[in-house]
Amino acid sequence: MLDRLMGSYLAEQGLLTKHQLSEVYKVQDASRAKLGVIAVAEKLMSIAQAEQVNMLQASMDMRFGDIAIDRGYLSEAQVSRLLELQGNTYLAFLQAVVDLGFLTMQQLEEAEGKYQSLHGFTESDMAALKTGDVTQAVPVFVDTEDPLYKGMFAMGVKNMYRLVDNHLYIGKAYTATVLKEEVLGYQKFHGDVSAVVAISGRYEDVRKMAIAYTKEEFIETKEDALDAVCELINCINGLYATEQSQSDLRIELEPPNFSVNFEKATSEEMIVLPVYIRGGEIKYMIAVSKDFALG
């Protein structure tokens, strides 16, 4: 995630042009294949096994390597080796910038220091971001001690990263009582844990997210885009409910719903996390207050 955050920052500061940044990402992606691709290339898994694990990821809150181990396709040692071959996304990003001759390592280190200072990140925050582990990155941006919010945001972003776009990045979360956007998809759940989870934003940005999730390029109506977003929300919340059931907590999901034209959503308190996908920005909102309402 830090590769995309720093890439955006370098472009904003005029240190890289948009074209140069695009070239960097192409080089970076070429050097960082997905774990399943590497496993097949190394003849550790068959194509059918890799495809099966990819399909299972849509219904299981587990990483590719963990599912492969659980299915008996790979050993823990083999997964560790594959992760080493895959490499660190941020280091691959830095290497691509330097190899293309756009900036020196000294310039990148200086820019990283300014970025850290600008956002008030601690050394431990930066270390968490550099791991490339989404679960470690989310708490850096969600400033709350409430374990309910932390767990739900981690679950949401982790699965957007897996199911929608592994190049997404997030901004600082903030607390609000009113949310005004063009379109919104949401789902309520209740039981031992009650909350509302929503995705909102400009239609064009939500459409970009829907296309990335469904892999369908021809989503042309607000209804189709929001239907896809609601499917994603339902998937994330279903995984969260399954996780909580392991702690004997019961959660009942209501059918997801959406609004193509709404004035505002209100709640006593909601936490909003900006998520940047395919050049667009959507708002990932969670409210545990019972007074959530659409205006």
At residue 186, the pLDDT reads 95
Whose structure tokens read 């071959």? 85
At residue 105, the pLDDT reads 86
Q: Any idea how long the chain is? A: 295
In one-letter notation, the amino acid at residue 225 is: A
At residue 199, the pLDDT reads 96
At residue 286, the pLDDT reads 95
Mean pLDDT value across the chain? 90
At residue 33, the pLDDT reads 63
Along the chain (295 residues), what's the average pLDDT of each consecutive run of 10 residues?
94 96 90 76 86 84 89 92 79 88 92 95 92 87 89 94 91 93 93 94 95 88 95 95 92 94 85 94 90 81
At residue 152, the pLDDT reads 94
